[in-house]
Structure 1
Amino acid sequence: MDIKKEFRTGIFYSAMGKYSNMLIQILLNSILSRILTPDEFGIVAVVNVFLIFFQMLADFGIGPAIIQHKSLSKDEIQQIFSFTIAMSVFIGVIFMLMGYPISLFYDNEVYRPISIALGFCVIFYTLYLVPQATIQKRKDFKTINIALIGSNIANAVVSIGLAFLGASYYSLIFGNISRALFLFVFYKSKTDLKFNLKISVKPLKKIYSFSKNQFLFNFINYFSRNLDSILIGKFFSSSALGYYNKSYQLSLYPNQVLSSIITPVIQPIMSNYETDLDKIKSVYFKVTSVLATIGAPLSVFLFFAAEDIILFLFGNQWNGSILSFKILAISIFIQMLQSSTGAIFQSGNRTDLLLRSGILSTVLNITAIIIGIILGKIEDVALMIVISFTINFFINNYLLMYRMFGSNFIPLFKLLIKPLVLGVIQVAFFLVLPELAFSHFFNLIIMSIGFVLVFLFGILVTKQQSLIKSIVGK
């Protein structure tokens, strides 16, 4: 199969999975946000920060390393799976015990039983890492995305059912556990990996150099991406964290709409071309061009439609999320552009540069978050994060363009001129649009129609019809 056909197949199934999952997540969030309070969401958001940390520890960069190393035999992958079995129990028990220090840090005993329950989530997550990577390695994108859809349906059924029964934040917790359990059972059934406690360190040494840099990047990036939630939960309130977390999660949806259907496909396919930097660079430019063309005008739309989006999706009790989402919407364009850089570094086997970008990004993000916390509002934190993301965009692309590709910023900036013009046209439209006084639903319908029409007009003005035809055609 040639590279274009592989990308078409991968993106088709990735789109099927991501769009289905996004729809499920939006519906799930809309329902639960009307049953549970911002305070209950905030409590779970605190524990999820630590859950993400332990999932990162469990991963240790093993998944991407299995995909990248074509020389790994079936027996070596089996031995790595055996290692993760022992590791899952160890890390899961440690997470269960973490409930005590978490309770002390936040002065709330509720985190002890929550941590015990989520320890099982850590175990199942660790167990499905190798089966998942094995399926990704053989580029079976259909199976991967069927699994994601099934796991999110399981999560939705359990979460909504328990919420209606009055289980409070435990509905979110057991929903998470059911998702991880489903993924483990499904992925395991699609591979011939066996439960075996015979462990050899030889295959682990084989992938160590790649997985080490990948893990260190994930470790550093964790603090970059989660310190805001840790500190807001500590120094503000659970409700403030609930409002902030809702706006931040909503700002990630645009990535799920487009960039996240492309980026999971890049490394499994492009790992075959790790020495052909021109090929990797060409793919990066094509992906960036598509993401920029949609991302710039979309950021503008979400900024102006923020109030109607929040109140329509989640209800009036989430009014406290509107301003922070409005601010974070500005960064959506930058987030979409940066979403593929990690996979590009991996494809060129340059996890050393990926690690370096992670270190620099983390220093900036942590500084920005601390300044936002000191200023005293979740909106201040959101604004500082937008500034940090913007600076990080230049850092990541310096490492890509100058250090990896031996080029400069000029070709990249040329790609961004027309998308930025599209964004400016959208700004002009929404500034002259009269204030709408209908229901939130009808306001969104009117603004969405206007957005699409102005977007198509902008495409004609910037003469990007060929790009859009290419996207639709492929």
Structure 2
Amino acid sequence: MAKSEFKTGIIFSAFGKYSNFVINLLINSVLSRILTPEDYGIITIVQIFLVFFDMLADMGFGPAVIQNRTLDDDDIGSIFKFSILISIALGVIFGLLGQPVNIFYDQDVFVPIFIILGFEIFFYGLMIIPRALLLKKKDFKSVNVLEVVSNIIYGVVAITLALLGFSYYSIILARVVKIFCMFSFYFTHNNINFKAKLRKEPVLKIWAFARNQFLFNFINYFSRNLDNILIGRYMGAVPLAYYGKSYQTSIYPNTLLAGILSPVIQPIMSEYQDDKEVMKNVYLRVVRLLGNLSIPLSVFCFFAGNDIILFLFGEQWVGSIPVFKILAISIWLQMIASSTGAFYQSANRTDLLLFSGIQSTVLNVAAIIFGVYIGTIESVATMVVISFSFNFIVNNYLLMYKTFDSGYQEVLVALSKPAILGAIQLGIFLLLPSITNNPFINLVVKGSLFVIGLLVGLLITKQLKELVNLVKN
């Protein structure tokens, strides 16, 4: 039953992630040619605060509702009512932050932006519990179809408004429309008991789990966003736009490949929370699968960085190329690491998830501050890659030794053949001469060589049949 659910979850998760990847890529490519780097700098600054308040609205309740097996309809209704109060408060607070942000970044544009996005925060907070209930019921089809439809609506609204001259407001207004559509769907597809009284007992049932999850998210936020905060403050909106565009592009592979696994892992593996051996074996399979794809892909993105940026976004984003090539080195680290949180959650070890978040944040903050001190976005990117590398080592120690009662050797074995695939790609691109000045032609040639090299590598390491069986099972 679990294998069947996992396959079904992966299929619909893959549909959602791949469809959204293509949709977002098209939207981003079109908007990047209409809007300016200055516009995107404003959006990136706003995104810093938006992500933080979305995290506050979640409070870790989503994963906690999925994980807890004792909640009844009255408990869910009470928790949802609590989320309404939190959402109202956060929406109002966010709407009042425009002027302080103006002062911090020495701008005069943020007051109306933050008022508008206060509604986004409100509706985002309201959809957390209904979405978690659908995931708990393993209704991956509804969740992923909704997200695809919502992204299409977002793209139509954003591009239309951009063409009409709304500049950065095109993205802001489109985002509010998207979140409202998602809330409406999730809310109407759940029978939440509104007659339930607002009580603290249901919240306390999930608070121990949610608290650690929330604290991890809170700490991880600063780890993941301090670079944007400091670059925007000390280097300006345009360097921030270049850095943000590079970082966003570097996580596309993570969204496209690892992103289909993470939403499925916790709802399924939570049923095996007392069986460490099962969870360890699934984790090692995930590491092998992601490693086979991500290590060669990191090499490809490094050598094709110029062509990727110019083809996707145009000549005005040439300043993003050096940063993207540096961040490409860490693609495989981020892809494998992105699945680890779901295994901490499934094993009821959000305490270790919190600890990993604390150490990761300390290291990332130190690295980012040093990179900003040096004074270039390239130096920030370099320090971020170094920090990711150390965090990868620590994270796997916590999983293998502290969660699964195992050791590093099994992870190294799982990564040994993917490393060979990466070495093959490195040899191909080091020997490849310059082709043309056309980014599209270059990508076609380099992409073809990447696919050929990957297939050859899988044959040499005798993994092609194994990889097919791994995907099936």
Give the shorter-chain TM-score range. over 0.9
Who is 2:361 aligned against? 362
Counterparts of 2:9 and 2:391, CA distance in 1:
29
Q: Tell me which amino acid in the other structure corresponds to 2:247.
A: Y
Instruction: Return the TM-score normalized by structure 1.
Output: 0.98
Who is 1:235 aligned against? 234
CA RMSD of aligned residues (A): 1.1
Counterparts of 2:409 and 2:338, CA distance in 1:
20
Give the deviation of 1:472 after TM superposition: 5.2
Who is 1:47 aligned against? 46
Determine whether 1:193 maps to 2:192. yes
83-92 or 358-367, larger mean C-alpha shift: 83-92
Q: How many residues align?
A: 473
Who is 1:251 aligned against? 250
Determine whether 1:151 maps to 2:150. yes
**1:217-232 mapped onto 2 (5 Å cutoff):** 217-232=216-231
Who is 1:416 aligned against? 415
Give the deviation of 1:407 after TM superposition: 1.3
Whether the aligned pair in 2 keeps the contact of 1:86 and 1:197 (CA below 8 Å) is no
**1:12-27 mapped onto 2 (5 Å cutoff):** 12-27=11-26
Q: Tell me which amino acid in the other structure corresponds to 1:88.
A: S
Q: Tell me which amino acid in the other structure corresponds to 2:256.
A: V
Q: Secondary structure of the equivalent of 2:49?
A: helix
Q: Secondary structure of the equivalent of 1:418?
A: helix
Q: Secondary structure of the equivalent of 1:454?
A: helix
Q: Tell me which amino acid in the other structure corresponds to 1:178.
A: V
Give the deviation of 1:100 after TM superposition: 1.6
**1:47-126 mapped onto 2 (5 Å cutoff):** 47-126=46-125
Whether the aligned pair in 1 keeps the contact of 2:435 and 2:442 (CA below 8 Å) is yes
Counterparts of 1:364 and 1:402, CA distance in 2:
21
The percentage of counterpart residues that share the same residue type is 53
Give the deviation of 1:467 after TM superposition: 2.4
Give the deviation of 1:67 after TM superposition: 0.2
Give the deviation of 1:176 after TM superposition: 1.2
Counterparts of 1:473 and 1:96, CA distance in 2:
48
Who is 1:336 aligned against? 335
Whether the aligned pair in 1 keeps the contact of 2:77 and 2:197 (CA below 8 Å) is no
Give the deviation of 1:473 after TM superposition: 4.0
Give the deviation of 1:241 after TM superposition: 0.6
Q: Secondary structure of the equivalent of 2:95?
A: helix
Give the deviation of 1:390 after TM superposition: 0.4
Whether the aligned pair in 2 keeps the contact of 1:372 and 1:380 (CA below 8 Å) is yes
Whether the aligned pair in 2 keeps the contact of 1:426 and 1:455 (CA below 8 Å) is yes
Q: Tell me which amino acid in the other structure corresponds to 1:429.
A: I
Instruction: Return the TM-score normalized by structure 2.
Output: 0.99
Give the deviation of 1:468 after TM superposition: 2.3
Q: Tell me which amino acid in the other structure corresponds to 1:222.
A: Y
Who is 1:134 aligned against? 133
Whether the aligned pair in 1 keeps the contact of 2:17 and 2:260 (CA below 8 Å) is yes
Counterparts of 1:197 and 1:386, CA distance in 2:
49
Counterparts of 2:74 and 2:157, CA distance in 1:
37
Whether the aligned pair in 1 keeps the contact of 2:65 and 2:133 (CA below 8 Å) is yes
Who is 2:299 aligned against? 300
Counterparts of 1:287 and 1:468, CA distance in 2:
11
Determine whether 1:175 maps to 2:196. no
Whether the aligned pair in 2 keeps the contact of 1:3 and 1:269 (CA below 8 Å) is yes
Counterparts of 2:18 and 2:216, CA distance in 1:
28
Whether the aligned pair in 2 keeps the contact of 1:150 and 1:182 (CA below 8 Å) is no
5+ long unaligned stretches in structure 2: none
Q: Secondary structure of the equivalent of 1:381?
A: helix
Q: Tell me which amino acid in the other structure corresponds to 2:329.
A: I
Counterparts of 1:47 and 1:169, CA distance in 2:
10
Counterparts of 2:259 and 2:280, CA distance in 1:
19
Who is 1:208 aligned against? 207
Who is 2:391 aligned against? 392
Q: Tell me which amino acid in the other structure corresponds to 1:470.
A: N
Counterparts of 1:194 and 1:53, CA distance in 2:
29
Give the deviation of 1:438 after TM superposition: 4.5
Counterparts of 2:466 and 2:298, CA distance in 1:
20
Determine whether 1:376 maps to 2:375. yes
Counterparts of 1:178 and 1:435, CA distance in 2:
45
Give the deviation of 1:78 after TM superposition: 1.0
Q: Secondary structure of the equivalent of 2:261?
A: helix
Counterparts of 1:432 and 1:336, CA distance in 2:
27
Counterparts of 2:440 and 2:46, CA distance in 1:
33
Counterparts of 1:14 and 1:408, CA distance in 2:
30
Who is 1:345 aligned against? 344
Q: Tell me which amino acid in the other structure corresponds to 2:223.
A: S
Q: Tell me which amino acid in the other structure corresponds to 1:57.
A: L
